[in-house]
Amino acid sequence: MGNKINTNELLIKNGRVIDPLNNIDSVCDVLIEEGRICYVGKVQKQMPEDKVIEASGKIVCPGFIDMHVHFREPGDEEEETIRSGSHAAVAGGYTSVVCMPNTDPTIQDETSIEFVHRMGRQTRKTHVYAMGALTKDRKGVELSEMGLMAGAGAAGFTDDGTGVQDASVMRKALKYASMFGLVVSQHCQDSSLSGNGVINAGFNSMLLGLPGMSPLAEELMLWRDIQLNKSIRAKYHAQHISTKGSVDIIRKAKQEGIPVTCEVTPHHLLLNEQTVAEYDTNYKMNPPLRTDEDNAALKEAVKDGIIDALITDHAPHLQSEKELEFLYAPFGIIGLESALPLFGKALIEDGIIDWPELVAMLTCKPAEILGIDETKGSFTKGKWGDITIFDPEEKWQIDVNKFFSKARNCPFHGWDVKGKVCYTIVGGEVRYSSERD
Ligand SMILES: NC(=O)N[C@@H](CC(=O)O)C(=O)O
Ligand SMILES: [Zn+2]
Ligand SMILES: [Zn+2]
């Protein structure tokens, strides 16, 4: 070491250290040197006071990774920017996020991928990745320049916001993407069935007199993609799955050894068409909230290890647009700053799983899908010192007015929850602390 001043040195003491990849769940210390994980265990080393975090009673785990967020830059900076979204991310415990390409213009070339990375680096909050469009202008007709985007560091490809409707285009997309070893993330939705629907097709859509979206719109495309991928064996990932039928399809595919991974949001676990406040557009999102039977099936899927990643699908929109009539308001809700306690409520408080399983779906599992597991997602020595420290017992009330996000479209405002992020550390640097917020 000599007399070199190492600013990114940190010792986190006495926390419940959970590192699912390495099967660690014990009360001990984590030492970071030169911004990287150096040692997990009992550390005797004397450190300056400002380099020590006392974490007794708290959970210390690899930094959370959200593989599905919308930061609206370029083009809709009034809704969210990479800067404001990154602040929201660290406040929620996220040390890596992946931006979706449904921006204006679409993220579909090297320059745009590099732009997102650069803005993320300059903000110095969370690591910011981007997926590129799977097809040109997300139109589902011609393939995008995947090779160039892969070269620029794209985290995968997706037309999120819409699914690729044409089966032969999807087959080509899977084949082409597999050459780069990157994930293809599909927003599974057959638009001939979802049509102009705005909520789940069923009792509630009839009651409210609103056009419905059939669960089959999701399930048919998911089933089709899995059949296509049987022989191609690309990295195929189903985004924000919402129905029991989707769970059954993925369960079967996994049993048959067909490559498929999937993700679920807090809202599809906790809310359903019965909990929708009438005509409140904070309950309008895509896919729509389904039924309590679907909530139960998704939780069961988590328990059985069918769900690979927990994501927020953080989708900021202007209040003025969300105030439009239900039929015309945009789809989507924000989620980064409320995700942890909501996942806790849905999965831990209900006794479905314990923290190590939950942490895995926020860390090593998404890291593997994204192919960033060489540097992130666990406490293996040499990985980046990306760490989330949270108090699993701290009670608080969700208040959208305290969010760092520019947006306020969140149906969980006012909810009493448990589980609060205390520190978010990136590369050994404290990028968020609840004491300073
Ligand atoms: N989830 C949503 O309801 N909206 C997303 C698009 C998407 O994820 O499909 C958005 O970009 O606003
Ligand atoms: Zn989507
Ligand atoms: Zn999305």
pTM for the predicted model, two decimal places? 0.97
Least confident of 7-11, 86-90, 422-426: 7-11
Share of the chain above pLDDT 90, in %: 95
Residue 99: nearest ligand to its CA?
3
Q: What is the DSSP pairing of strand 10-19 with strand 52-54?
A: parallel
Assign 99 a pLDDT band (cuts: 50, 70, 90): very high
> Does the structure show a pLDDT above 50 at 5?
no
Residue 4: inside a domain = no
How do beta strands 416-426 and 387-397 pair?
Answer: antiparallel
Which run of H or E residues covers position 149?
Answer: helix 146-151
Residue appearing with tokens 């923290």: 355
Residue 83 lies in a domain: yes
What are the pLDDT digits (tens) for 111-152?
A: 999 999 999 999 999 999 999 999 999 999 999 999 999 999
Q: Is the ipTM reported for this complex over the cut 0.90?
A: yes
Residue 218 and residue 158 share a domain: yes
Q: What is the model's pLDDT at position 275?
A: 85
The pLDDT tens digits of the residues spanning 6-47 come to: 568 999 999 999 999 999 999 999 999 999 999 999 999 999
163 lines ligand 1 (CB under 6 A): no
Question: Is the C-beta atom of 228 inside 6 A of ligand 1?
Answer: no
| Dist. CA 429–CA 226, nearest whole Å | 41
Indicate whether 255 pLDDT > 70: yes
Residues in the chain: 437
Residues 6+ apart with CB under 8 A from 153: 113, 114, 117, 129
Residues 323 and 265 in one domain: yes
The pLDDT score that the predictor gives to residue 2 is 38
Atom index in ligand 1 nearest the CA of residue 331 equals 3
Domain housing 242: 63-378
Domain assignment present for residue 340? The answer is yes
At residue 335, what is the residue type?
A: G
Ligand 1 pocket, residue 62 CB under 6 Å: no
Give 266 Cα–ligand 3 centroid separation in angstroms: 13
State which residues have CB under 5 angstroms from ligand 3, the bound ion. 160, 313
What are 353-394's pLDDT values in tens digits? 999 999 999 999 999 999 999 999 999 999 999 999 999 999
Q: Which residues are catalytic?
A: 313
Q: What confidence category does residue 1 fall into, taking pLDDT thresholds of 50, 70 and 90?
A: very low
Determine the Cα–Cα distance for residues 198 and 220; give it in Å rounded to an integer. 18
Question: Is residue 179 in a domain?
Answer: yes
- How close is the Cα of 204 to the center of ligand 3, in Å? 24
What is the C-alpha separation between 11 and 46, in angstroms, rounded? 9
Q: Which residues are annotated as a binding site?
A: 68, 70-72, 102, 160, 187, 240, 286, 313, 317, 331-332
Q: What digits encode the pLDDT tens for the residues 272-327?
A: 998 887 899 999 999 999 999 999 999 999 999 999 999 999 999 999 999 999 99
H helices within 36-128, ranges in order? 82-91, 110-123
The answer, yes or no, to whether any atom of ligand 1 lies below 6 A from the CB of 160, is yes
Question: What's the confidence (pLDDT) of residue 276?
Answer: 83
Q: Select from 107, 241, 313 the residue to mutate for testing ligand 1; criterion: most ligand atoms less than 8 Å from CB.
A: 313
Phi and psi at residue 4, to the nearest 5°: -65, 130
- Identify whether 3 is part of a domain: no
Same domain, yes or no, for 355 and 308? yes
Quick one: average pLDDT of 54-68? 99
Contacts of 390 (CB under 8 A, 6+ apart): 58, 59, 93, 340, 419, 420, 421, 422
The pLDDT value recorded for residue 124 is 98
Residue 332 φ then ψ, to 5°: 130, 150
Is residue 276 within 8 Å of 267, Cβ to Cβ? no
Look at residue 7 in the predicted model and tell me its pLDDT.
66
**Cα Rg for the chain, rounded, in angstroms?**
21
What residue owns the CA closest to ligand 1's atom 9? 161
Contact by Cβ (8 Å): 187, 239? yes
CATH value at residue 110: 3.20.20.140
Q: Are residues 402 and 369 in the same domain?
A: no
β-partners of residue 264 are 310
Statement to judge: residues 354 and 411 lie in one domain: no
Gap between the Cα atoms of 83 and 337, Å rounded: 15
Ligand 1 near 313 CB (within 6 A): yes
> Do residues 177 and 205 make contact, with C-beta atoms less than 8 angstroms apart?
no
Give the angle 85-158-258 at the CA atoms, nearest 5°: 125
Number of H helices, E strands in the chain: 14, 18
The more confident residue out of 201 and 2 is 201
The share of the chain scoring above pLDDT 70, in percent, equals 98
Number of domains within the chain = 2
Instruction: Return d(Cα 307, Cα 124) in angstroms, integer.
Output: 31
- Is the same domain home to 399 and 349? no
Whether residues 229 and 317 fall in one domain: yes
Atom of ligand 1 nearest to the CA of 285: 3
The strand ranges marked E within 36-131 are 36-41, 52-54, 59-62, 64-69, 94-99, 127-130
Question: What CATH number is attached to the domain comprising 29?
Answer: 2.30.40.10
273 lines ligand 1 (CB under 6 A): no
Separation between Cα atoms, residue 248 and residue 245, nearest integer Å: 5
**Would you state the structure tokens that stand for residue 306, as one six-digit string?**
């069918």
Kindly state whether residues 162 and 209 are assigned to the same domain.
yes
Ligand nearest to the CA of 131: 3
**Tokens 């920017």 belong to which residue?**
81
pLDDT digits (tens, 9 = 90+) for 314-324: 999 999 999 99
Q: Is there a single domain that holds both residue 80 and residue 196?
A: yes
Distance (Å, whole) CA 61 – CA 55: 11
Same domain, 179 and 48: no
Burial of 352: CB neighbours in 10 Å, binned 0-12, 13-18, 19+: middle
Residue 161, pLDDT > 90, answer: yes
Residues 290 and 399 in one domain: no
Please check whether residues 43 and 160 belong to one and the same domain: no
What's the one-letter identity of residue 34? E
Helix axis angle, 215-232 relative to 244-255, nearest 10°? Answer: 10
Of the listed ligands, the closest to the CA of 67 is: 3
Evaluate: CB of 396 within 6 angstroms of ligand 1. Answer: no
Q: Is the pLDDT of residue 106 over 60?
A: yes
Q: Is the pLDDT of residue 350 over 90?
A: no
Last residue of a domain, one of 350, 378, 406: 378
CA distances (Å), origin 385, targets 9, 101, 172, 286, 400: 9, 28, 38, 35, 30
Residue 105: asked if its preceding bond is cis (omega within 30°), the reply is: yes
Bridge partners of residue 401, in order along the sequence: none
Distance of CA 155 to the CA centre of its chain: 13
Q: Determine the distance separating the centroid of ligand 1 and the alpha carbon of 136, expressed in angstroms.
A: 18
